[in-house]
Amino acid sequence: MPRSGGSPGPGGRLVFHVFAAPAQFIRELIVEGTREGLDAARTSPALLLNRCGPRLSVRGASNIIRAIAAGANLDEEHITAHAGRHTFATLIRGAARERALNLLPYDR
């Protein structure tokens, strides 16, 4: 509780530091993880990244596509990341197509 002068007493400062220390620790973990993810993304350029930064795997892309298909009441059995990659590739022409195919998550 603030003192009459408006500044917190020793108890208030203790409570502030008890809550601030874990918050600062979590912030530093997030910053470190973000930097690691960005470093991983720079070493392996990709069009789609997972939540940790590296290239999105085929399985990860398939899970996302299945969830979108289920939400749209589509037959999820025939909608795959592989089919999406080929659909995307047919829409792109020329040198950009080859560059995009190298960025898309797909093991050749």
* Residue range 52-66, pLDDT digits in tens: 767 777 788 778 888
- DSSP-assigned beta bridge partners for residue 8: 2
User: Does the pLDDT at position 16 exceed 60?
Assistant: yes
Long-range contacts (CB closer than 8 Å, 24 or more residues apart) made by 55-63:
55/105, 56/105, 57/105, 58/82, 58/105, 58/106, 58/107, 60/105, 61/105
> First and final CA of the chain: distance in angstroms?
64
Cβ atoms of residues 69 and 79 within 8 Å: yes
What tokens were used for 71?
């939400």
69 C-beta neighbours (distance < 10 Å), count: 16
Q: Which amino acid is at 41?
A: A
- Rounded distance, CA 100 to CA 108, Å? 14
Can you give the residue ranges of every domain in the chain? 8-43, 56-108
39 C-beta neighbours (distance < 10 Å), count: 11
Residue 108: band (very low, low, confident or very high) from pLDDT cuts 50, 70, 90: very low
User: Does the pLDDT at position 27 exceed 70?
Assistant: yes
What tokens were used for 7?
């500044």
